[in-house]
């Protein structure tokens, strides 16, 4: 019964994550997305500083850490919220595959005795 529950969970997640899998196919996602969105929306730095209640150096560090991939989810969420946006993150299999595909690959690797 446990495997049946896992299978149902995979199918549900695969359905929910469909658009994220599509986004994950992008070879070079927008670097510095927070800054890119801020500029595209025309949100002035002064407004961001007031909403976040931080100094200019903190906002700069947040945007830089996002570009380096070291920003916390909390920090990214705060910046997104200040712009009137919502941070959503996803965990999806590589190459746009589904969780069901990945589970089957893992099963075959286990059966054949070799793992990637």
Entry pTM: 0.76
Distances in whole angstroms, Cα of residue 42 to Cα of each of 35, 39, 47: 10, 5, 10
Whether 116 shows a pLDDT value over 70: the answer reads no
For 28-48, write each residue's pLDDT tens digit.
777 899 999 999 999 999 999
Distance, first Cα to last Cα, the chain: 28
Residue 52 in contact with residue 59, Cβ under 8 Å?
Answer: yes
Domain segments of the chain as ranges: 2-112
């Amino acid at each position: 019964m446990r495997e049946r529950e896992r299978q149902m969970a995979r199918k549900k997640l695969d359905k929910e994550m469909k658009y994220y899998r599509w986004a994950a196919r992008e070879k070079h996602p927008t670097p510095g997305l927070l800054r890119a969105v801020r500029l595209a929306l025309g949100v002035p730095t002064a407004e961001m500083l007031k909403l976040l209640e931080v100094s200019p150096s903190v906002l700069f560090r947040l945007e830089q850490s996002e570009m380096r991939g070291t920003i916390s989810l909390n920090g990214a969420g705060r910046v997104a919220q200040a712009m009137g946006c919502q941070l959503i993150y996803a965990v999806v299999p590589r190459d746009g595959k589904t969780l069901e595909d990945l589970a089957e690959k893992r099963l075959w690797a286990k059966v054949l005795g070799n793992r990637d």
